């Protein structure tokens, strides 16, 4: 899977190129890109290494559910932030990002030798050994294991940034500004209730941002979002918090939010706090957090090139990036059809066959009587059962 930028579409601003570096190499993306989408557009597939065996890892998701693409982002020596998801980093001019948990480099990682030891390093292996001699756990074994663990380095200099906190009170707190959250906020605000609407993304809209062809009340999705935001913005009883993640639901409807204020800016003001903690007391809380696609289970599903179908749509529609030129669609829900169609429309989906591992997996599943589908190249790109098995 090698990604490429489409010629049009997406919610990026193609008139505003942004330069950044990843592992010391310069790249260019557009305003509105995440680190993940911008790198994917350049054909970058390798984003990290796994925790234990240092196996290569690519992007699985496009949002906050991304498990693989953890990077360290640094503004200067004291402002190094480890373990940030590349899918959550908005690029800015001069951004410096590095991959983690590899030596000497991401492409060639000597620690990958652990992979050969995988039969020894089974889950819980450390409970079963390193017990002899008695003192050796703390003196010999533990230091090696500790040094190997931890995917990144904590900052070494005191953090010079400022952080803010505030209390807030509202009648309705809506968490998530996707279609459901926006609708809930509109309905609540219309009654005169004090509303706080928060969303972890820079741009409200949630899943609608991945559905440009979708409609709500016969309005195109993008237009509906804009109208909703205008309506909400005009009401003094509504507070919209972007880049704000709800992180904890505490007793008596106290919800903790963290608002990222400057991490997306090329040159934040010196006095600006980097983040703000909100302690929101809400009479009612609406969780409109949407859904995330569950990955399918098959051998090798953690390798670069395997991505959630919903993520592929997200890269295409939000960021104008095709995730590859030869795409096999394999999904466990009706998202597969939409993904296959969208990806096909963005450029013909090449005849695609499962890799040998996936074919083996498919054969094994069939033996167990499960239905296996594969995507076909001919439009309409409609999966049909393999081997004549009935979909019923």
Partner 1 sequence: MLIINCPYCGPRPELEFSYAGQAHVARPADPSATGDDEWTAYLYLRTNTRGVHAERWRHARGCARFFNALRDTTTDRFRRDLSER
Partner 2 sequence: MADATIRRIVGLPTAAWLESPLPATRFILRGAPGARAAAGEGFGLSLPETACRAATDGNRAALWLGPDEQLLLAPDGEVEPIAASLARALQGHAYSLVDVSHRQVGIGIHGPRAEWLLESQCPLPLNLRDFPVGMCTRTVFGKAEIVVWRPAEQVFRLEVWRSFATYVAELLREVDRESIA
Partner 3 sequence: MQKYSAWALLREAFGGQRGWQSQWRRASPAPEYDAIIIGGGGHGLAAAYYLAAEHGITRTAVLEKSWIGGGSTGRNTTIVRSNYLFDESARLYDHALDLWQDLAQVLNYNVMYSPRGVMMLAHGVHDVQVLKRHVHANRCNGVTNEWLSPEEAKAFCPPLNIEPNIRYPVLGAALQRRGGTARHDAVAWGYARAADALGVDIVENCEVTGIRRDASGAVAAVETSRGLIKSRRIGVSAAGFSSVVIGLAGVRLPIESFPLQALVSEPVKPVVPCVVMSGSIHAYISQSDKGELVIGAGTDAYTSYTQRGALHVNSHTLAAICELFPTLRRMRMLRNWAGTVDVTTDRSPIIGKTPVPGLYVNCGWGTGGFKATPGAGHLLAWTMAHDEPHPIVAPFNIERFRDGRLIDEAAAAAVAH
Residues that bind partner 1 (CB under 8 A): 250-252, 254, 279, 281
Calculate the dihedral angle through the C-alpha atoms of 249, 250, 252, 255, rounding to the nearest 10 degrees.
Answer: -50
Tell which one of 16, 25, 138, 294 touches partner 3 (CB under 8 A).
Answer: 138
Say whether residue 67 binds partner 3 (CB under 8 A). Answer: no
Say whether residue 264 binds partner 3 (CB under 8 A). Answer: no
Say whether residue 153 binds partner 3 (CB under 8 A). Answer: yes
For 5, residues 6+ apart whose C-beta sits below 8 A from its C-beta are: 41, 320, 321, 322
* 149 vs 190 by CB, closer to partner 3: 149
Only one of the segments 5-13, 141-149, 170-178, 301-309 lies at the binding site for partner 3 (rule: CB under 8 A); that segment is 141-149
108 binds, among partner 2, partner 1, partner 3, none (CB under 5 to 8 A by kind): none
Say whether residue 267 binds partner 2 (CB under 8 A). Answer: no
Say whether residue 166 binds partner 3 (CB under 8 A). Answer: no
Instruction: Compute the least distance from the CB of residue 118 to partner 3, in Å.
Output: 9
* 281 vs 365 by CB, closer to partner 1: 281
* 40 vs 258 by CB, closer to partner 3: 258
Structure token pair of residue 236: 């003094």
Residues 69-128 that bind partner 3 (CB under 8 A): 79-83, 119-120, 122, 125-128
Instruction: Produce one character per residue of 81-115: b if its CB has 16 or more CB atoms within 10 Å, e if not.
Output: bbebbbbbbbbbeebebbbbbbeeebeebebbebe
80 binds, among partner 1, partner 2, partner 3, none (CB under 5 to 8 A by kind): partner 3
* 163 vs 167 by CB, closer to partner 1: 167
Instruction: Compute the least distance from the CB of residue 232 to partner 2, in Å.
Output: 18
Say whether residue 152 binds partner 3 (CB under 8 A). Answer: yes
* 108 vs 132 by CB, closer to partner 3: 132
Say whether residue 271 binds partner 2 (CB under 8 A). Answer: yes
Say whether residue 149 binds partner 3 (CB under 8 A). Answer: yes
Strand partners, 34: 90
Tell which one of 8, 134, 367, 368 touches partner 3 (CB under 8 A).
Answer: 134
For 223, residues 6+ apart whose C-beta sits below 8 A from its C-beta are: none
Tell which one of 268, 290, 383, 385 touches partner 2 (CB under 8 A).
Answer: 268
* 158 vs 369 by CB, closer to partner 3: 158
Spell out the SS3 assignment of the chain: CCCEECCCCCCCEEEEEEEEEECCEEEEEEECCEHHHHHHHCCCCCCEECCCCCCEECCCCCCCCCCCCEEEEECCCCCEEEEEEHHHCECCCCEEEEECCCCECCCCEHHHHHHHHCCCCCCCHHHHCCCCCCCHHHHHHHHHHHHHCCCCCCCCCCCCCEEEEEEEEEEEEEECCCHHHHHHHHHHHHCCCCEEEECCCCCCCHHHHHCCCCEECCEEHHHHHHHHHHHHHCCCCEEEECCEEEEEEECCCEEEEEEECCCCCCCCCCCCEEEEEEEEEEEEEEECCCCCCCCCCCCCCCCCCCCCHHHHHHHHHHHCEECCCCCCCCCCCCHHHHHHHHHHHCCCCCCCCCCHHHHHHHHHHHHCCCCCEECCCCCCCCCEEHHHCCCC
* 250 vs 353 by CB, closer to partner 1: 250
* 200 vs 210 by CB, closer to partner 3: 200
Tell which one of 23, 65, 98, 161 touches partner 3 (CB under 8 A).
Answer: 161
Say whether residue 220 binds partner 3 (CB under 8 A). Answer: no
Site string for partner 2, 279-298 (x = CB under 8 A): x-x-----------------
Residues that bind partner 3 (CB under 8 A): 79-83, 119-120, 122, 125-132, 134, 137-138, 142-143, 145-147, 149-159, 161, 163, 165, 248, 250-251, 254, 256, 277, 279
Residues that bind partner 2 (CB under 8 A): 162, 164-169, 194, 261, 268-269, 271-273, 276, 279, 281
């Amino acid at each position: 899977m090698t990604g490429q930028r489409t010629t049009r579409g997406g919610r990026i601003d193609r008139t505003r190129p942004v330069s950044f570096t990843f592992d010391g190499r310069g790249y260019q993306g557009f305003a509105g890109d995440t680190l993940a989408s911008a790198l994917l557009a350049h054909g970058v597939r390798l984003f990290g290494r796994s925790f234990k065996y240092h196996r290569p890892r690519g992007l699985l998701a496009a949002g906050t559910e991304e498990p693989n693409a953890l990077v360290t982002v640094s503004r200067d020596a004291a402002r190094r932030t480890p373990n940030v998801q590349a899918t959550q980093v908005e690029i800015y001019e001069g951004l410096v990002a590095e991959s983690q948990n590899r030596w000497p480099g991401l492409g060639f990682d000597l620690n990958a030798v652990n992979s050969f030891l995988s039969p020894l390093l089974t889950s819980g292996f450390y409970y079963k050994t390193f017990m002899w001699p008695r003192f050796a756990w703390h003196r010999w074994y533990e230091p090696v294991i500790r040094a190997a663990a931890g995917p990144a380095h904590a900052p070494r200099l005191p953090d010079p940034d400022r952080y803010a906190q505030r209390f807030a009170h509202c009648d309705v707190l809506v968490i998530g500004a996707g279609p459901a959250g926006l609708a809930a906020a509109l309905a609540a605000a219309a009654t005169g209730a004090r509303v706080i609407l928060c969303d972890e993304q820079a741009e409200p809209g949630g899943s609608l941002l991945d559905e440009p062809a979708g409609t709500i009340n016969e309005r195109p999705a993008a237009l509906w979002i804009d109208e909703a935001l205008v309506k909400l913005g005009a009401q003094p009883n509504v507070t919209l918090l972007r880049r704000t993640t709800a992180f904890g639901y505490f007793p008596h409807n106290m919800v903790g939010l963290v608002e990222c204020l400057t991490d997306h800016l090329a040159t934040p003001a010196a006095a600006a706090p980097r983040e703000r903690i909100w302690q929101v007391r809400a009479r009612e809380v609406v969780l409109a957090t949407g859904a995330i696609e569950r990955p399918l289970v098959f051998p090798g599903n953690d390798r670069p090139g395997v991505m959630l179908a919903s993520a592929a749509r997200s890269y295409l529609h939000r960021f104008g990036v095709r995730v590859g030129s030869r795409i096999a669609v394999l999904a466990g829900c009706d998202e597969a059809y939409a993904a296959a169609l969208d990806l096909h429309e963005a450029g013909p989906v090449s005849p695609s066959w499962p890799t040998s591992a996936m074919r083996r997996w498919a054969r094994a599943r069939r033996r167990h009587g499960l239905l296996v589908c594969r995507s076909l190249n001919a439009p309409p790109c409609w999966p049909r059962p393999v081997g004549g098995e009935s979909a019923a």
